[in-house]
Amino acid sequence: MWDEIVDVVSVGAGPAGLACAVAAVDAGLDVFVALPGAATAPHTDDPRGWLPVVADDETMAFFDALAEELPTAALPGNPAALQIRALHEVQVDTSRRAHVETFVGARLGAWAAGCIASPYGVLFTRVDHWPTTTMRATDGTSFQVAALDESPPTAATFTERLDALVAERDIEVLGDHPLQRIVFEEGRIVGVVVDSADGPWAVRARVGIAVTSQRPVPPDTRILDGDSRIALVGLTASRFGRVEVLGTVDVPAPAESTSG
C-alpha cells in the first residue's frame, strides 16, 4: 500500500519540521517533507494548540487524546516569538556516585503544552530519534539538544539560516501536500497519507513522524549573531520539542502587539 518508504516523515508548515529534517539527514536518515500549501488552520485558543485538524477519525482521536492529557500553558510574552536562550553543554557523570536529576512528570506535561502553544513546536511519534547532547539552562534545568548549525554565518535571520541548512543538505520540500491521516498498524504509528495533485500519497516512516503547525510562521526579522545556533530542544522522555536559537544570553520573548 505504500507509495514511498523513508526513515522520517515531516508534515506541517512549522519551522521545527524543517529542523527535524535537517537533524535526520545529519544522523544519516532519509526524509520526506510535506507542507500543507496555501490553506492554513484558523487561529485558536483551544488547548489543542496547533495540533492538526483532519477528516480522519482515528487520527483526530490520537491528537485529541494527546491534548486531553496536557495542562493549559501560556508561553511568556508572545507565544509566536522565537525562543532565544543560553544553554550550556554539561559533562554527564555516569559513575555510581553521580547525581541523578529528579524526574518530574508534571514538567513533561507543562513542556508539551508549551510546545503546542508555540508555532515553533513539534510532536515526534518516538522519543528516541537522533543523537542529542545534554545541555543546561541558566536556571539549572536540563534539556536534550540537537544543534544544527555548528558554523553559522555571522549575520542572518533565523529563516535565512534554516533555509540554508535545508538547501545545503539538498532536502526536497513538497508544497501543497497537507496531512490527510496518520496510518496505524495494531495501534502503532507506521506512516502517513498526504494529499497531492495526483491523489493520496502513502509514506511509511521507519523511524518516526514529525508533526508541526499547519500554519506558516511569520519570518523572525532579528539578525542572529555568529555565536548563536539553531537547535531542536526537548526533554528526556518527551515526544514534544521546539526549535530554538542557542545564544550566549537569554533573550525574553517580545510581548504581543496590541492595536488600539
Q: What is the DSSP letter of 57?
A: H
User: What contacts 24+ positions apart, CB below 8 Å, involve 64-70?
Assistant: 66/112, 66/123, 67/116, 69/109, 70/109, 70/112, 70/113, 70/116
Q: Flag whether pLDDT at 67 surpasses 50.
A: yes
Label residue 39 by pLDDT band (50, 70, 90): low
**Contact yes or no for 74/115 (Cβ under 8 A):** no
Predicted confidence (pLDDT) per residue in 234-250, tens digit: 998 899 999 999 988 88
Higher pLDDT pick, 43 / 184? 184
Closest CA to 192 of 68, 19, 58, 15: 58
Q: Which pLDDT score is estimated for 235?
A: 92
Residues with Cβ within 8 Å of residue 62, at least 6 apart in sequence = 182, 184, 189
CA 116 to chain centre: 9
Domain boundaries, the chain: 4-247
Predicted confidence (pLDDT) per residue in 156-204, tens digit: 999 999 999 999 999 999 999 999 999 999 999 999 999 999 999 999 9
Mean model confidence pLDDT for the chain: 85
Most confident of 76-85, 118-127, 175-184: 175-184
What are 248's three cell numbers?
A: 550566549
CA 118 to chain centre: 10
Q: Which pLDDT score is estimated for 186?
A: 93
Q: Is residue 69 classed exposed, middle or buried when 0-12, 13-18 and 19+ CB atoms within 10 A define those classes?
A: exposed
Q: Flag whether pLDDT at 13 surpasses 60.
A: yes
Mean pLDDT of 13-42: 88
